[in-house]
Chain A
Amino acid sequence: MPVIRDELMQVRASDDIVRVRQMVRALAVELGFGLVDQTKIVTAASELARNTLDYGLGGTTLMEVLEENSRIGLRITFEDNGPGIADIDLAMTDGYTSGRGLGLGLSGAKRLSNEFTIESRVGEGTRIAITRWKGR
C-alpha cells in the first residue's frame, strides 16, 4: 500500500500524548476528514499513545498517509519495547485493565477505527496499528 507521507513522534511523557493528538488532528484536517472522523481518529490515537506510555513504558508513534485505489487513509502505528501483552484477547475485552484505567483503551480504539491490528510478544514489546479511511 503506497505511503505518500509519514511522521514519526516519540512518546516519552504525558505531554507527548497531547502532541500526538495535535499532529493526528492536523493531518486529518489536511486530508479533508469530516469532523466526526477527525474526532474518532484523534480519540483512538490518544488512547493508544497513553497505553504506549503507561503500559509500554514509552515508545513511538508513526503516522502515515496512505493512498489506495484513489482513496486516502491515515494509518497510525504505536510501537513500544515494553513488557508486552500475554493475553491479547483478555486485553481487548471491554472493561479489562491491568492498570488503573477504565479498560476501554484497546477495545475503544478498535471501534473508532476502520482497521486495527495488534502484535505483541511478552518481554519484547507491542505494536498496534489503526487505520481510518476518509469518508467511510
Chain B
Amino acid sequence: MERIPILKMGRYLLVTVQVDMHDRLAMTLQDDLTNQIVEHKARAVLIDISTLEIVDSFIGRMLANIAAMSRVLDAMTVVVGMQPSVAITLVELGLSLKGVYTALNVEKGMEFLTTSLSGEDGADAGNTG
C-alpha cells in the first residue's frame, strides 16, 4: 500500500509530503503518525508541506487531527513551509488551522520545537535517548 514515509530523528518525527495526497493516503498518514508517536515515544512531529500545491478542507482537517492527536499523546506538531498561495486560499476557504503550530520553513520549525521542548531531558533532535 502507498504510504508517506515518516523519518525518526531523535525524539522528533519528520514528514515531508511530496505527492498530491488522495484522501486515503491522508488517512493512512494520520494513523501511521499516531502509532509512531507512541512506538518511538516521540515528543514532536514536524510536517513539511512546502511542495503541496493545495490544502483543501480534507487535508486541513487531517493536519488539525494530527495536531490534536499528538497533543493528547503528549507530543507537539508543527506544520512548516506552506506556500503563500495556499495560505491565502485556505483562509478564504474558511480554515484557519486553529491549534496547529506553524513555521515558515523546516529550520524555523526545528528552532521552535527545540525552544519549546528545551529543558526536557533528551528532547534534542540529535539525542536518541
CB-CB contacts below 8 Å: B8-67 with A: 20-24, 53-58, 60-61
Contact A50 B23 (CB under 8 A): yes
In the assembled complex, the Cα of A69 lies from the Cα of B28 at a distance in Å of 47
Q: Which of B53, B54, B83, B94 contacts A108 (CB 8 A)?
A: B94
Mark the stretch among B70-78, B85-93, B107-115 that contacts chain A: B85-93
In the assembled complex, the Cα of A79 lies from the Cα of B121 at a distance in Å of 56
Contact B93 A43 (CB under 8 A): yes
Contact count band on B: 20 to 34
Contact A21 B89 (CB under 8 A): no
A136 CB to nearest chain B CB (Å)? 14
Contact A39 B53 (CB under 8 A): yes
Tell me which residues across on chain B come within 8 A of A112, comparing CB atoms.
89, 92-93
Given A18-B20, A50-B58, A108-B94; A25-B53 close (CB under 8 Å): yes
- Of all chain B residues, the one with the shortest Cβ separation from A50 is B58
Contact count band on A: 20 to 34
B26 CB to nearest chain A CB (Å)? 10
Contact B95 A102 (CB under 8 A): yes
A57 CB to nearest chain B CB (Å)? 16
Contact B57 A47 (CB under 8 A): yes
- Of all chain B residues, the one with the shortest Cβ separation from A97 is B57
Contact B22 A101 (CB under 8 A): no
A111 CB to nearest chain B CB (Å)? 5
Contact A40 B92 (CB under 8 A): yes
Contact B85 A104 (CB under 8 A): no
User: Could you pull out 13 A-B pairs where Cβ atoms are within 8 angstroms?
Assistant: A14-B22, A18-B21, A18-B22, A36-B85, A43-B54, A43-B90, A46-B56, A47-B57, A50-B58, A101-B57, A102-B95, A104-B94, A105-B57
